[in-house]
Amino acid sequence: MSTVRAAASLRRMHSSASAPAREAVNRHSRTVTQPKSQGASQAMLYATEGVDQQEDFNKAMVGVASVWYEGNPCNQHILGLGQRIKKSLVKSGIIGYQYGVVGVSDGISMGTSGMRYSLQSRDLIADSVETAAGGHWLDGTVVIPGCDKNMPGTLMALGRLNRPGLMVYGGTIRPGHCGGNGRPVEQLDIVSAFQSYGRYLQEGQTEEAEQIRAETIRNSCPGSGACGGMYTANTMASAIEALGMALPGSSSYPAESEEKLKECDTIGPAMMQLLEKNVLPRQIMTRQAFENAMVLTMALGGSTNAVLHLIAIAHSVGVTLTVDDFQSVSDRNPLPADLKPSGKYRHPLLIRLGLMTGDEMTVTGKTLGENCDAWMEKNQKRWEGQDVIRPLDNPIKSSGHIRILRGNLAPGGAVAKITGKEGLKFTGKCRAFDDEESFVKAVESGSIKKGEKTVVVLRYLGPTGGPGMPEMLKPTSLIMGAGLGYDVACLTDGRFSGGSHGFVIGHVVPEAQLGGPIALVQDGDVIHIDAVANTLAVDVSDEEMAERKTHWTAPPLKVSQGALYKYTKIVADASRGCITDG
């Protein structure tokens, strides 16, 4: 097909990069299973499932890190997938130990103070997986994430540990539906539910509008799986597959599909191969592999959260990645995918573009190019007649949708998600809000109007000020649901969900809590956003901004103890990926 180039066009790996010779697979667990001086360790292991006799101590011990939580559709099925993966490991002669890892549902916590825990949970997940595997001398780890912070958290742990490991994505949810009885049938997802309130306000809060709102909410999430669409979960799952850390197809198989179950059944042999050849995450997650992940993110119209997360994952393996690298990739790569939230479709098979290179090693033991050959041959019929991916010479946008903006409002950088559907430039008067709730009330009251170009500034929501850099999906959904997408741009030192679309700019550095210029703008200031020149500026002189700074005082932190308080003390800024360990 002209729109997707098979791997035959990609470079091949040199024979000199072949895997090392086979050796014992219990490289790490032997620390506690072999010495006579570790009798207590061995006694405790005899009490566990999988260890019945002395010979079992010669087997590899592999963790199955299941990011499982019954109260979230993204993660409620993960325990079952982990159990199936463990059976596959045992069948391959590996001792499997499943353990739980906690995560936070963005969809449930969104719009509340609970959202402060979302990004912080990424590091909690990474620390949990690293701690369980490191403390118990596991020889390798299979990670099973579901919701969007799960993916980077588990990959950061694999990078830190640098022991054989791979990711199995929990999979995406089925679309929902509502309508009928005289109304058109609508296909739904979680963003439909978020936008339902703005739509309800726009349609006059009538009894019929309330019925539509209630029906939308009831039917948006029909089962297990991560939010449908090219939102953060699917963005990161796709990027990690391009990175080489998941088996081909993992990002594309729906959560409740037979294909996802079959994938789980293949993990044992795949893991045994990684153990035997001692293929390590840092051999796979190279600089060029991250280039491939960034290219795919641009091609799919992926979430701005990918900037934070790929920088953090790269840090875990000693690869330096900056926001400027994303701008460079965005400049030279088009946006050919017609995917939600700004496009038509939800989530395709993972595409392999001629834009990516193919000679990087993956967890299959083969290169990305070799995986692509097999994948395209197997799935060729499924691509016939598709219009999800437009031809590369006729893309939706000739360059990437993620833009890194700088200027007197964001000297340390900001991340914009601009597909061009709402234009490439925006100028409007500032309406500044120090919290989400005040903005919601402004929309409810009708004080933000159609026809008036407005730049809504949502501040004190950064990594420190939020704390935890909460996502602004509720505000952007209100904007779009209320039909204000062409009249309102949204600027924040917080983040945006992958489900956000419109004219949105987040990750402003420095953040307001630390005295960044975003703390000093006032209602009525004229703000210019230019996604061509990559600038973000306010029409206020340097002298006036300096004068305002003399009257500014940082507000108290919103927390004074606990996990979030610790987070405020160690988290880096958004342009450094909000890392907490360096």
Alpha-carbon separation of residue 368 from 154, 260, 308, 362, 391 (angstroms): 21, 20, 24, 6, 22
Q: What is the pLDDT of residue 377?
A: 73
CB 213 within 8 Å of CB 199: yes
Most confident residue range from 160-169, 213-222, 434-443: 160-169
Q: What is the pLDDT of residue 173?
A: 93
Reference 407, options 508, 488, 490; nearest CA is: 508
Q: What is the pLDDT of residue 12?
A: 34
d(CA 352, CA 332): 17
Q: What is the pLDDT of residue 397?
A: 77
Band of pLDDT at residue 107, cut at 50, 70 and 90: confident
Say which residue, 433 or 381, is predicted with more confidence. Answer: 433
The upper half-sphere exposure of residue 523, i.e. CA atoms within 13 Å in the direction of its Cβ, equals 6
> In this structure, what token pair is assigned to residue 445?
């009251």
Band of pLDDT at residue 394, cut at 50, 70 and 90: confident
Task: Give the contacts of 353 (CB within 8 A, at least 6 positions apart).
Answer: 4, 5, 295, 296, 299, 336, 392
d(CA 422, CA 489): 10
* Mean pLDDT, rounded, for 447-452: 90
Which residues face 456 on adjacent strands?
431, 490
Share of the chain above pLDDT 90, in %: 67
> In this structure, what token pair is assigned to residue 417?
């998600």
d(CA 56, CA 157): 27
d(CA 420, CA 316): 34
We find that the CATH architecture of domain 402-576 is 3-Layer(bba) Sandwich (3.50)
* Mean pLDDT, rounded, for 320-337: 91
* Mean pLDDT, rounded, for 559-563: 97
As a whole number of Å, the end-to-end CA separation of the chain is 45
Is the predicted pLDDT of residue 292 greater than 50, yes or no?
yes
- Which amino acid, residue 151? M
CB 230 within 8 Å of CB 302: yes
- What is the enclosing helix (H) or strand (E) of 165? strand 165-167
Whole-number mean pLDDT of the chain? 89
One DSSP character per residue, 403-433 reads EEEEETTEEEEEEEE--STT-SEEEEEEEEE
Q: Is 497 a catalytic residue?
A: yes
- Set 497, 500, 541, 560: catalytic member: 497
Task: Give the contacts of 561 (CB within 8 A, at least 6 positions apart).
Answer: none
- What is the enclosing helix (H) or strand (E) of 503? strand 503-506
- CB crowding 288-314: b at 16 or more within 10 Å, else e: ebbbbbbbbbbbbbbbbbbbbbbbbbb
Band of pLDDT at residue 501, cut at 50, 70 and 90: low
Is the predicted pLDDT of residue 10 greater than 70, yes or no?
no
The domain limits of the chain are: 7-25+60-173+226-383, 176-219, 402-576
Is the predicted pLDDT of residue 99 greater than 80, yes or no?
yes
State the maximum Cα–Cα separation within the chain, in Å, rounded to a whole number.
78
Alpha-carbon separation of residue 443 from 176, 447, 461 (angstroms): 27, 6, 19
Burial of 447 (C-beta count, 10 Å sphere; 0-12/13-18/19+)? exposed
**Number of Cβ atoms within 10 Å of the Cβ of 450:** 12
> In this structure, what token pair is assigned to residue 82?
């982990």
pLDDT-wise least confident of 173-187, 334-348, 514-528: 334-348
Reference 267, options 471, 84, 439; nearest CA is: 84
> In this structure, what token pair is assigned to residue 571?
């988290």
The upper half-sphere exposure of residue 15, i.e. CA atoms within 13 Å in the direction of its Cβ, equals 0
d(CA 74, CA 71): 9
Q: What is the pLDDT of residue 371?
A: 83
Q: How many residues does the structure list for the chain?
A: 582
CB 514 within 8 Å of CB 384: no
Is the predicted pLDDT of residue 172 greater than 70, yes or no?
yes
Alpha-carbon separation of residue 384 from 1, 3, 377 (angstroms): 8, 11, 12
d(CA 267, CA 463): 36
* Fold adopted by 7-25+60-173+226-383: Rossmann fold (3.40.50)
pTM for the model: 0.91
> In this structure, what token pair is assigned to residue 222?
């029909």
Q: Token pair 């559709």 is at which residue?
A: 73
For 457, the 3-state DSSP assignment is strand
**From its phi and psi, is residue 504 left (phi > 0), alpha (psi between -120 and 50) or beta?**
beta
> In this structure, what token pair is assigned to residue 38?
């570790």
> In this structure, what token pair is assigned to residue 160?
């830190």
Say which residue, 356 or 436, is predicted with more confidence. Answer: 436
Which residues face 415 on adjacent strands?
404, 506
